[in-house]
Structure 1
Amino acid sequence: MFALFNTWLFVFTAFAPTYLVEADHYSAGDMGIIMAAVGLGSFFWGFLVPMISDKLGRKPTLIIFSFIACLCPIVFLFIHASIAIMVLIGFITAVGQGCIPLLGFIIISESVPARLAASVGGMVQGGGELVGGALMPLIAGILADHIGLTAPLWIASIGSFIAAFIAIGLIETAPIKKVKQQVNSHQVTQLMEE
């Protein structure tokens, strides 16, 4: 999933500026404003999404925000609006950035023994960066040359879309949810004993 989100992030941020200028005919200055909003949204959501996952749980948060993140490249493909609307859309749909800390750090540290967290985290991040940050942008560039500038944006969208479906199969790791599950199972056990 980390590789899929790196695909979403790196392919989108590498090719969206070119798409906005060459295919959608925004000026370079307007494109810069739109992409700055995406960057600001990434910063904002990078804090907010993990905070939401502390309350809602890791699994539902990943499912919801992965599906929303897949809209970001699609919106850029199909909506040509004023700069203000594109800035708002770019800011809101940059939520995928908030899933990256969940996948690269938080869930790992909650899923493995503490003594293995750094090693497992390094493997996940290394593999995710290699696939999503190096290989997929290369493939997206080749497809952009042969198919057109829409191909990389579709690749970015598909990355977070697949991640959303994988998230459905995750086991919840949020401490607050695990405690609630333990309390509920304990209550069920007590009722059965009575």
Structure 2
Amino acid sequence: MKKGLFSYENGIVLLMALTFGCLFFDRLALNFLMPYVAKDLNLNNTQIGLLAGVLSLAWAFSSFFSTAWAETNNKKKIVFIIAVFVFSVCSFGSGLATSFITLLLARLVMGFAEGPVIPLAQNFVERESSPHRLGINAGILQGVGSALFGSILAPVLLVKIAEDMGWRNAFFIAGAPGLILGLLAWKFVQKSTAESVKTNEKSALNISELLQYNNVRWGIGVACCIFGWWFATLPFISNYFVSSQGMTADEMGKTMGLLGVAGLVSSIIVPGLSDKIGRKKVLIAFSLVGAMYPFAVHYLAGTAIHLPAMLLTYFLMGAIPLAAAVVPSEAVPVHLKAKAIGLITAIGEIIGGVIVPSIAGILSDKIDPSAFLWVSAALAILGLFFVMKLTETLKK
């Protein structure tokens, strides 16, 4: 096996990062194309909310149950490849939608397909990572997807395509790379990377067994708080910049793009730092940093340090792969690693990605437009309680 730059380890990290990036590109495509889609399909705000919620719930359900089934039945590679093909096809389905119901069905199936991709991808990367590189490898995998593809490239490319060729063609083009990456995964991922460890277990889920591990029990709380910190602001922040802080659409777009860059950089720096000084120390430090993000957004508006302060405090985003993948995978035996990642991702997605934004939105309507910021701050602080309960898993 080649060493250095062209090693199999680096190849797996790159392939999984590109695949998750494509997935996140497809998942967020509807967000950026919504002005065009809503106009053509005559969607109201309730229907728009349902489209987002249905995908998140399906993703959460599938991320654990599909992953657990795949690991128990030694079908991780085939489940991963089928999932990549299906979510890519569902992007084509979104482009073919002629009504709210057909679009809802396409997003529902997409959510089920996308669910197992990140737990299995992280499991493949964990299996092939050198001990001193697990954190940074997990960060590259997740950061390329959520930041580079989802936050930086997607809004620019998709809106440009929609303007020039129509929103339906934007969905068709968004789905094409996934088909290619699915074929590459079929050819490139080795049997040993995806093979399950043989056990005598009869249950496909092992939930009670997983909950016996300290870092799974408390790690669920950590993931819910960090996911919630991010999702509490994500749906509302761009509108808040324009409607409450007086940014122009161009200023808002550039600010969101820079936040995406900060998310990408943090997804490399934060997990990489955890490889050096420990997972728990890094989670504590950046939870404190992240708690300051809402204050930077709200109180520093109009000042010279507004943007730098937001970019710095946004670095808690880099802790997402630690909470979702590294901490749970290091806490359990080999045969439970994928299930641990899937369980924490599922619960974090439901609470942090579905329930928290709903509460934040209601409070912002009922109390003050900035209420979502304080929900985010509260979750970062609450996350410290759960982080303090973790056992350090970095082996030096």
- 1:1-194 correspondence to structure 2 within 5 Å: 1-81=222-302, 85-176=305-396
TM-aligned CA deviation for residue 79 of structure 1: 0.8
Give yes or no for contact 1:37–1:90 (8 Å, CA) kept in 2: no
Structure 2 unaligned runs (5+)?
Answer: 1-221
TM-aligned CA deviation for residue 154 of structure 1: 0.5
Amino acid at match of 2:393: T
TM-aligned CA deviation for residue 139 of structure 1: 1.0
Structure with more relative contact order (C-alpha pairs < 8 Å, separation 6 or more): 1
SS at match of 2:236: helix
Instruction: For residues 119-165 of structure 1, give each alpha carbon's deviation from its aligned partner in whole angstroms, at most 9, with x where no partner exists.
Output: 11101100100110011101111111101211101001111111123
Give yes or no for contact 1:104–1:121 (8 Å, CA) kept in 2: yes
2:143 aligned partner: none
Work out the percentage of aligned pairs sharing the same amino acid.
Answer: 32
SS at match of 1:13: coil
Q: Tell me the distance in 1 between the aligned counterparts of 2:230 and 2:331.
A: 24
TM-aligned CA deviation for residue 19 of structure 1: 1.6
Amino acid at match of 1:91: L
Q: Tell me the distance in 1 between the aligned counterparts of 2:317 and 2:385.
A: 17
Q: Tell me the distance in 2 between the aligned counterparts of 1:160 and 1:40.
A: 21
1:180 aligned partner: none
Amino acid at match of 1:90: M
Structure 1 unaligned runs (5+)?
Answer: 177-194
Aligned residues: 175
Instruction: For residues 12-67 of structure 1, give each alpha carbon's deviation from its aligned partner in whole angstroms, at most 9, with x where no partner exists.
Output: 12111122111111112111211211111011101110110111111110000011
Q: Tell me the distance in 1 between the aligned counterparts of 2:245 and 2:392.
A: 41
SS at match of 2:391: coil
Give yes or no for contact 1:20–1:26 (8 Å, CA) kept in 2: yes
Amino acid at match of 1:12: T
Amino acid at match of 2:267: G
Q: Tell me the distance in 1 between the aligned counterparts of 2:257 and 2:381.
A: 24
Q: Which runs of 4+ in 1 moved over 4 A?
A: none
Higher share of residues assigned helix = 1
Q: Tell me the distance in 2 between the aligned counterparts of 1:42 and 1:151.
A: 23
Q: Tell me the distance in 1 between the aligned counterparts of 2:243 and 2:389.
A: 39
Instruction: For residues 96-120 of structure 1, give each alpha carbon's deviation from its aligned partner in whole angstroms, at most 9, with x where no partner exists.
Output: 1111110100011110111101111
SS at match of 1:44: helix
Amino acid at match of 2:365: D
**How large is the RMSD of aligned CA atoms in angstroms?**
1.3
TM-aligned CA deviation for residue 85 of structure 1: 3.6
TM-aligned CA deviation for residue 74 of structure 1: 1.5
